[in-house]
Each structure stands twice: as structure tokens, then as C-alpha cells.
Structure 1
Amino acid sequence: MKFNEYTYSHMEKQDIQQQVESFKQRLETADSYAQFKAAFDELDAYDQKLESNVTLCQIRHSINTKDPFYQQENDYWDQVLPEIQSNFHQTDAVILQSPYCEQLKKDVPITYFLAKEMDQETFSDAIIPELQKENELSSQYQALIASSQIDLDGKVYTLSQLEPLMTAKDRNIRKGATKAYWGWFDQHQDDLNKIYDRLVKTRDTMAKKLGYKNYIELGYKRMYRFDYDQKDVANYRKQIVDVVVPIAQQLYERQTKRLGLDQLYTWDEKVEFKEGNPTPIDDIDGLCQSALQMYQELSPSTGTFFQYMLDHDLMDLEAKPNKAPGGYCTYIPSYKSPFIFANGNHTNQDVETLTHEAGHAYQVYCSQDIRPSECIWPTYESCEIHSMSMEFFTHPWMDRFFGNKADAYRFAHVSGAIKFLPYGALVDHFQHEVYAHPQWGPLRRMDRWRQLEKQYLPHKNYEEIPFLENGGWWMRQLHIFMDPFYYIDYTLAQVCALEFWCRKDDHVLKDYQHLCSLGGTLPFRQLVKAAGLIVPLDPGCLAKTMKPVYHWLTKAKY
């Protein structure tokens, strides 16, 4: 069965609520563990059905945000999901308070209970209006970005379609494209600021209704941060400033010299080489066929997985009008199908995104039989280890994608991983500042972004683009709007991926595959250790990890 044959079914709120209530009653009245466990398992199966319908709606809406049916259904779920969350919340409480709970802990991963306990602390019926508003505003942001229509030299582009021009070999082309790209954000900054301002205040209200000082603590619990806290993250960000920022600045200086420039301007940052960045030698279909051969050679398991993705049309990879921004991998439980969404635009990012999202998809493919189904995925920072590590595991096959530019791609990829860490820490630091000061207005937030940018990315030169000099860059970062506090997760995972890349032992791929098979059955720190890696939050991890990476970069010819 192909993806376009997967059936979406509208589900009425009342029917869902009645069904969940019936499971709640069965769990409450069970007079044996066998009865309790049967109700628990059937609830999980029903949850998979519900999740499959919601996910199908979200995928099809993101592929075409103007599709009237899925736009209407997406709006419906934005309103309904917070309301039915109340029913699940009550049912979860019954499970946690049941006399059979201790026996259930012998059959179910500990992370299930950790998550459910946090859920009890992050929801009440009182915040349903705020949850609905949060969903509505997030959809508004996504729709606004997807609607972008930018005139440049007689042609019309979306933001995603402009990006190849922003990395053009011809400096005048990329300068014009970069100015047009940021010009769109400048023209829409009032709308973007209003959406974000309302999101911040909505989340702050939510936190205060639940008894928190501000959204930060609530946000951490919503992210299921089981085994680290704000202090751990702040110390980790300091490691990045002390260890990584100096290395990144050296890389920017090398880049400036390679390009033959006196200064690196905004329109130069995305270009690593004077002759232009490596670009894929094939179109999207060709990339997929090369990827299939690559994954078949990497291991039998990865080959079978990617063939499944192709056979069922479980990827939508090309940028097109009205398509939502970004890339993601999700999972449709009823069909045991991962799904990869991307906005390919014939840049090196096409390969990076494909391997990244394939890492996510491979993990959920490996762990899909874990029950309850909520433990198939780990928490976000652990999820990103699978994806970012896959980018590095596929390095030996880059010749198939980039031909004689493969070495240049590999250098740019490793260099980019280092440059990314300060940016990821900046995004996280900014969000902590914003949610600690929800009363700030748009100008104060933009000013604070620019101040932090000078700490984490001191090389930034925004001459001729006043919107960026005034602190507007963050408006392009989807996660800041839609997934608060997510972004530091990418940096934690990036460090783990670099640890995998530095390892030369025969067991490294087996350790990675073992990590994938564990899914979400352990908290972050335990998963990292199970993969034979050092936890990035631990003191000294970054200094130890960066040493071999820095050595490799200094030996590279670029």
C-alpha cells in the first residue's frame, strides 16, 4: 500500500472522549492485573489509531497548507486535541494511582511512568484555552511562512526556493537572493512579532495557571527532561562558549580566506568554497536511488528499511508552493510507517536532510514494536542522536552524491557541525531570556537576540541588512515559535554524533543500531551511555570530543 492510499478518518470529539472514558472505567474497576493490563494494552492500541489519524492530517496539511479539507481538519485538531488531552490526563492518573501500577512497572519501561508523572504536572482543564491558542498561533506561523511569494529578477520564489540562490557561486546572485530573503521577513516582522508575542504570553499564562513562576520550568517538563535541568543546560552552554566558539571563529576565518574576502558578509556565510558549495549530481529521484544503494551496503537492516520507504512512497522531499517550511520525520502507527518530509532545493542540504531524517525514520523502524507505543520514540535530544549520527555514518558514500566534490562536502559537513553548536546554544539562551521576561516587547526581544549573538557568533557582519543588525534573525527559526526549548537538543545530539564519528572501532555501527532499537525505553543519559558515548552535559565532554575533531579539521586541505 502506498502513502496516498493510507486512509484518514475524521474522528468526532465526543466519540473519542467516550472511548477514553470507557478505558478509564475498565482500568478503575479491574479486579485482577490481567484485566487491568488488557485494558491498558487496548487503550494503547486505540491511542495508536488516534495518533495515526492526527499524523496523517498533519502530514497532508504540511505538504499543501492550502488544501481546504486538511486545512479544516488541522484547525479542528488544533481545537480538539487539548480538550481530549483532559480525558487522557484523567485516565493516566488512574493508571498511576492503581494498585496494579507497581506490577505494571515490571512490564513497561520506566520512561513511560516518568512521562506520565510529568504530564500530571503540566496539564489541567484550566489551560485548555491556552493550549488551543498555542496550536492556533503555531499554525498561523507555519501558514505565513508557507505563503511566502518573493519577486526576484522577474521570477517568484518561496523562502525555501530562494536558498539555492543564497549559496550561488556568483556573489552578486547570492547577495541579491539573501537581501530578498531577509526583505520578506522585514516586511512581515510586525505579523511575526505579534504571533510570537502572543505565543510567549499564552505560554506564560499557562505556566502561572499551573503554579509555576514562569514558562521555563513548565517547558522543561513538557519536553520530558527526565535527568537534567536548567543548571545543567546553562553549564553546557558555557562549555560551548569556552571550548567551541573559539574553534568556530577559526573556521570562519579560514572560510573568509578561502573565499578570497576581507570580511565575511551575511550573503557569504552559507558558501564554503570560492568555486561554490558541493551540490548533488542527481535530482531528488536520483538521490533516493543512490541512498538505497548506500543503505543496502551500510547494513542489511538499513537496506531493508530504506527499500520499505521507497516501496510505500513514504517521502515527500521537494520544495513547492504552499508547502510548509523545514523538514521532519514522523510515524504513522497503524501502518507501521515512518514518513519523511523535506524541502529539497538542489543544494548540499538535500543530502544532509535526507540522511538526517532517514536516521529518525530508521530508529522508529527499529523500535516500532516497543509497547506501550509512547515509548517507541525517545525524548527529543535522544531522537536527534539517531539523525545526526546517520549523517556521519553515511560519509563514506558521499562520492555517489557529490562526485569529485565529496571531500569538500565532508569537510563542510564537519565544519558546519562545529559552527552549529554556538548557534544552537544561542537559540536556547535566547528562549530562556524571553520566557524569564514575558513582559518584554518585540524590540526588547530583538535587542537581546543581537546581544547574545555577539557572544556566541561574534563574527556576524550585517552590513546592508538593518533588519538583521536590529536582531531579526531568530524569526526564521521555526522551533522558537512552535517547539520552545527544543533547539538545545540538536546540539546535545550533535556532540554525540561527533563522538560516534571519532570512534574507529568495529562496534560503532552495532552500538548505534542498539541505540536505535532501545527507542524511548531509557532517559537521555542512560541511552547515551548504552551507546558507549560520553554524556555531553558532563564537565569536560566538549573539550575531550573537540580535540580529535579539531585535529582532523586542521589537517584538512581546505
Structure 2
Amino acid sequence: MMKETIDTEVMKFEEFEYKRPDMVQLSSDFERLFAAFSQAGSFEQQQEIFHEINEIRVLFASMYNICHIRHTIDTRDAFYEAENDFFNQELPNFQAFNTELNNKLLASPYRDAFERQWGEQLFRIAELNRRTFAPEVLADLQEENRLSSEYVLIKAGAQIDFQGEKFNLSALLPHELSADRATRQSASEAKWSFFAGHAGEVESIFDQLVKTRHGIAQKLGYPNFTSLGYDRLTRSDYTAEQVVGFREEIAKHIVPLASRLYERQQKRLNLDKLYYYDEEFRFASGNPKPQGPPSWIVQQAQHMYREMSEETDEFFTLMQEAHLMDLENKDGKATGGYCTYIEQYRTPYIFSNFNGTSGDVDVLTHECGHAFQVFSSRDIGLSDYKWPTYEACEIHSMSMEFFAWPWMNLFFGPQADKYKFMHLSNAIYFLPYGSAIDEFQHIVYANPEMSPAERNQVWSNLEKKYLPQRNYGDNAFLKNGGYWQRQGHVFTTPFYYIDYVLAQICAFQYWKWDQQDHASAWESYVRLCKAGGSKSFLELVDLAGINSPFQKGCVEAVAQEISNWLESIDDSRF
């Protein structure tokens, strides 16, 4: 068996070995160790076997993550496309082995000793994961993976004609932010023409995904996919009903604030009407931009993380020396940004698509928040605890964006104040949209027989509730409810989106705390990162010393703090 983890002091990502897992050998190893686990006569014996099982899981997950990174860097690479197809087929089989491990843990006569060693969260994870798999859904899970990959490839393969050139979705964005209104309108129309041209494919993929997921849920004994979706995300301490209440708080306290910000924006831009293609263009003088190319941005980040703390200096030095970031946009590259963790090599990895906008700094600090967290918790001793649940993960990322504020002059020079105003405004703008995406999924999965047209109508109705400023002019695709089709999470990771909204309310509290007492705020943040996934979401919030987003009055209080700060800024000077 290969060594569980490898020293990466001098090893770079391109030197990381990829080897397709041998599923026959893996199955044999699991069966042998499961039998030994059941026959063990003491906690110490079971603990030792548990670690051996974990080594196999680490190797499989590491190979998957290396494949995923290399496939998304170039979706046209035939070798890694084939390997991605392999994992689409085999991940459900691997899930079956994890389910069996969970069954063994839950039945262990030494459960009390395991809980004393690792805490209750291990068994919460085991119980929730056990519910989400049975052998009879294996083929359905493979189909779900295949359909999700189809959607990713459609977006990655975009070649959009604009002004005599071809652009992918990431490269087109700077033109959508042009100071020339006609340019940003035509760039936006070109992008949405791409989505409109693929709407039949995308709606068919999603229709199949909804029906496949609903079928999986019913086979597993769930009334519909919603509860299964929550269990897949290991949400152990809040319910869909609580999320409904949280979304209503967003509608009540954040939507009016966002509407006032859009009114200020319309006034700054001196426009009679604010159309959809105007929304991302914040200032008549142009949005703030980084003052240099991607390599220069990384140099500034190195400076920032060296000054921020010893921990962040060590972390970012590793990220650079081991080539653990692929940041520049290029053809064939998957859209978006993410952070993952290659446990065998004890390294995070950051993927992005820089395009010369302020979003380059947003995504770098955001993904560095994820990467710093898993770097901080990599010695926690248990794979299940390297990451927390998604909504807790997003606290790390969104809060890091705010902890980086004192260094924004490095990236934006004299536009640093403009950037901060836009960054905070953008965070407010996002909350209603994130809530709409979440409510859309709840409605869709509660009504799996809806037609594509009915789903689009649901989205249109939700825009009126959460995004009342949205004006699509004469764009028929968007007026008919097509906007949601751009959101990859809906296709690949259902119900993973309200997590950003919950986490943003937590991150806003760090924003305020950092201004008042940086030392204690940072100490709390590092403590939270080191805890990894050893606790549930609300337990981690409590550990950090911040208020739960579900707590009565929390959203209202946060909204007031942000509103006060934004109102204190004379945005006309930007």
C-alpha cells in the first residue's frame, strides 16, 4: 500500500503522481479490514483498523482530486476526461464502502470510546451519510454524475463571438463591465445568446437531474429530494423550516437595503433606468481593477500574507513553492473557482479564472480562506474532519476577504476605498440572489414533475421577490426566467448555495469585529480554522464567538451595521 501522506517540501503539483485506483484491490482491502474491524476485541484494535481504512480512503480521494484539478484545468485533455468518466462511475461504489464503514462505526461496541476520542460529530456524519446510500441507487448516482459533468462541459466549451473575436465565459466578463454602455450591453447579450442557444440542452439535463434525484430519494425512503439533499450536505443542526425563516429575514431586511444601493448606483451612473447589463458596472469612472497582471497579483498577495500573520506566511509560501494555484483563464478551462485538498500530499489547491477585474482579488482571497482553513486543520488526525460542512467552510472564505481589507491598497492603489465600498455592496447584492437560488431549488424538488417552462416561471416569480430592481429590457430568454441556468451549483451540488448566505452573515460579524479589535477577531478566526470539521455548523459558530444567522434579530442587526457604514461613504467621489 502506498504511504498515506507524502512530504511536499520540494515536490510541486506537476510532480504529484496520479494513478487510477484499482477498484478490485480496493474492494478486497475494504472487505478484509471491515471484517477485522467487526472482530476486533478492543477499542485500541478498532482504532488501529479504522486508521488503516482511512489510509485507503485518503488515497482514493487524493487520486480523485488530482484528476479533478487536471481535468478542470483543461477539459479537452483526453486522458483526464477519461479518468473523470471513470470517477463518475466509481464514486458511487466508493460511497458504498464509506456507507459500510459508517455502519460499522455506528454498531461498534466501543462507540463511547470513539466519541471520547473524536467527539460526537463523527457519528453525526456517519448517521447522515448512511441514510444517503443504498446499493439499489448506485446506477442512479452514476447517471447523476454523468449529467452534472455534461453541464460543466457545456460551459467550459463556450466560444462566444464578440467584436470579431471568440471568448469563453470568463474572458468575456471585462467587456460586460465596460464603461461604454453599448459595449457592455452587446457583451451581455452575446453571453446570454450562448445560454439561450443551449437552453434546450441545459433544461433537458436539469430535468433529468431532478427526476433522477427524486427517484434516488424515493428509493432511499425520502418523500422527495429536499431532505436527502440536506443529509448529503451533513446538515445536522438546522432544518429546511429554519432556512425558510432565514430567507424571510433576508427578504425583509436585506432586499430593501440592496434596493437602496441600486438606487444609489443608478444615480451615480446618471441613468434613467438600470438594466440587467448595468448592474455589475458600479461607477461611472469604471469599476476598480487590480493594478497589474496575475503574476503581480500573486506577488502582492505574498506581501499581504507575510504581514498578516506567521501562519498565513507559511501557508502562502507553500502554495507558491509547490505550484498549488492555477489562476489564469484559458480556453478549455472549466469556469469558476474552487479550492480542494489533496490529502496524500497534505496540500490545498486553488483553481480560478483571472480576467483582469476586481473579481480576481475577490476569488483569490476567498479561495485562500478555504485553503488556509484546511492547511490549518490538516493535522487534525481524521479525514472526515479536514473540512467542515459547506456553510461553515464559507465563513472561512468570506471572512478572509474582509481580513484582507487593510492590504487592498497593494492591489488597487488609489482605488482601494472604491474597491472596499464595492466589495461590501456586492456582498449585500449577493444575499437576495443566493436566497432566490435556494428557494428555487426547494420549490423545484418539492414539485419534480414541473416542466422546464414552469421552472423558469418559478425563477421569474422569485426575481420579483428578491431582485425587484431587475430589468431585462427586451431580452426574451431572461424575461422568460432563464437566468438561473448560469448557476453551476444548481446542477452539480444541489442545495449548496444558501451556505454562502448564512456564511456571509457570519463574515459580516468578523468584518465589524476586525475593525474594533483585530487581535481578538483574528484569534477567533484561526481557532475556527484549526477546528476544521470537528463540530457541526452551529457549534463552530459558537466556538468562534459570533451569533448564529438563525438567531432572532441577527440579520436585522447585521443589515443595520452594513447600512450605517455604506451610508457614511460619499460614493459620488468614486
Q: Which band: TM-score by shorter chain?
A: over 0.9
Amino acid at match of 1:556: I
Select 2:26's aligned residue among 13, 16, 19: 16
2:300 pairs with one of 279, 290, 298? 290
Tell me the alpha carbon deviations over residues 405-441 of structure 1, each in whole angstroms, 9 at most, x when there is no partner: 1100000000111111100000000000000000001
1:490 alignment partner in structure 2: 500
Is 1:218 equivalent to 2:228 in the alignment?
yes
| AA partner of residue 347 (structure 2) | S
1:475 aligns with 2:485: yes
Give SS of 2:117's match: coil
- CA distance in 2 between counterparts of 1:242 and 1:438 reads 29
Q: Does 1:334 align with 2:347?
A: no
Structure-1 residue corresponding to 2:563: 550
Letter in 2 for 1:249: S
What's 2:189 paired with? Answer: 179
Query: Paired residue for 1:353?
Result: 363
**2:279: which partner in 1?**
269
Amino acid at match of 1:516: C
Letter in 2 for 1:76: F
Contact 1:237 1:425 in 2 (8 A): yes
Partner of 2:550: 537
Distance (whole Å) between structure 1 residues aligned to residue 509 and residue 18 of structure 2: 41
2:517 is the counterpart of 1:507: no
Return the alpha-carbon distance in structure 2 between the equivalents of residues 388 and 105 of structure 1.
31
CA distance in 2, matches of 1:500, 1:86: 39
Give the counterpart letter for 1:532 in structure 2.
G
Partner of 1:447: 457
How far 1:328 moved relative to its partner?
A: 0.2
1:170 deviation in Å?
A: 1.2
Q: What secondary structure, in the 3-state scheme, does the structure 1 residue paired with 2:301 have?
A: helix
Asked whether 1:74 is paired with 2:84, we answer yes
1:285 and 1:329 mapped to 2: Cα distance?
19
**1:24-47: CA deviations, max 9, x gaps?**
011011112221111011111221
1:288-437 paired onto structure 2 within 5 Å: 288-437=298-447
Q: CA deviation at 1:303?
A: 1.0
Separation (CA, whole Å) in 2 of partners of 1:91 and 1:489: 28
- CA distance in structure 2 between the aligned counterparts of 1:91 and 1:373, rounded to whole angstroms: 13
Q: Is the 8 A contact 2:105 2:126 kept in 1?
A: no
Measure, in 1, the Cα distance between the counterparts of 2:471 and 2:290: 29
How far apart, in 2, do the equivalents of 1:126 and 1:470 lie? 38
In structure 1, the partner of 2:3 is none
Alpha-carbon contact 2:136-2:219 (below 8 Å) kept: yes
| Contact 2:366/2:400 (<8 A) preserved | yes
SS in 2 for 1:317: strand
Matches within 5 A, 1:54-93: 54-93=64-103
- Residue 530 (structure 2) pairs with residue 517 (structure 1): yes
1:466 to 469, 472, 476: 476
Aligned residues of 1:21 and 1:91 also touching (Cα < 8 A): no
Query: Deviations for 1:69-99, whole angstroms, at most 9, x for unmatched residues?
Result: 1000100010011023222212321121011
Whole-angstrom CA distance in 1 between matches of 2:407 and 2:94 = 46
Query: Is contact 2:234-2:389 (8 Å) kept?
Result: yes
Deviations 1:318-341 (A, max 9, x none): 111111111000000011100000
What CA deviation, in whole Å up to 9, does each residue of 1:53-73 have, x standing for no partner? 010001100001110110001
8 Å Cα contact 1:367/1:517 also seen in 2: yes
SS at match of 1:498: helix
Alpha-carbon contact 1:329-1:361 (below 8 Å) kept? yes
- Whichever residue aligns with residue 524 of structure 2, its letter is D
Report the counterpart of residue 280 of structure 1 in structure 2.
Answer: 290
Q: Between 219-228 and 15-24, report the one with greater CA deviation.
A: 15-24
- 2-side partners of 1:3 and 1:438: how far apart? 42
Q: Give runs of ≥4 in structure 1 deviating > 4 Å.
A: none
Distance 1:17 1:88 in 2: 11
Give the SS at the match of 2:121. Answer: helix
Residue deviations 1:115-149, cap 9 Å, x none? Answer: 11011111100110111011000110001110101
Partner of 2:138: 128
The letter of the residue matching 2:234 is Y
User: In 2, are the aligned partners of 1:109 and 1:375 still within 8 Å (CA)?
Assistant: no
SS in 2 for 1:330: strand
CA contact (8 A) 1:20 1:88 kept: no
1:68-217 correspondence runs (5 A): 68-217=78-227
Contact 1:379/1:520, CA 8 A, preserved across alignment: yes
Counterpart Cα distance in 1 of 2:401 and 2:168: 27
The alignment covers a number of residue pairs equal to 558
- Structure 1, residues 314-373: CA drift from partner, whole Å, max 9, x if none? 000011111111100000001110000001100000000000000000000000011211
Distance 1:95 1:18 in 2: 19
How far apart, CA to CA, are the structure 1 residues paired with 2:99 and 2:475? 48
Q: Identify unmatched segments of 5+ residues in structure 2.
A: 1-10
Matched residue type, 2:480: N
Judge which range, 145-154 or 28-37, deviates more.
28-37
State the superposition RMSD in angstroms.
0.8
Which whole-Å CA distance do the structure 2 matches of 1:404 and 1:463 have between them? 35
Question: Percent same amino acid at aligned positions?
Answer: 44
**Cα distance between partner residues in 2 of 1:91 and 1:350:** 41
Letter in 1 for 2:569: A
**Residue aligned with 2:277, SS:** helix
Kindly provide the CA deviation profile for residues 243-267 of structure 1, in whole angstroms up to 9, marking residues without a partner as x: 1100000000000000110111111
Deviation of residue 109 (structure 1)?
A: 2.9
Whether the 8 Å contact between 2:73 and 2:334 is mirrored in structure 1 is yes
CA contact (8 A) 1:280 1:346 kept: yes
Q: Is the 8 A contact 1:108 1:371 kept in 2?
A: no
Q: What amino acid maps onto 2:286 in structure 1?
A: G
CA distance in 1, matches of 2:162, 2:425: 31
Structure 2 counterpart of 1:303, one-letter code: D
- The match for 2:257 is 247
Q: Which amino acid aligns with 2:343?
A: P
- Which residue identity lines up with residue 264 of structure 2 in the other structure? R
1:240-293 deviations in whole A, cap 9, x for unaligned?
011110000000000000011011111101111001100110111000010000
Q: Distance in 2 between matches of 1:466 and 1:409?
A: 33
Q: Which runs of 5+ in 1 are unaligned?
A: none
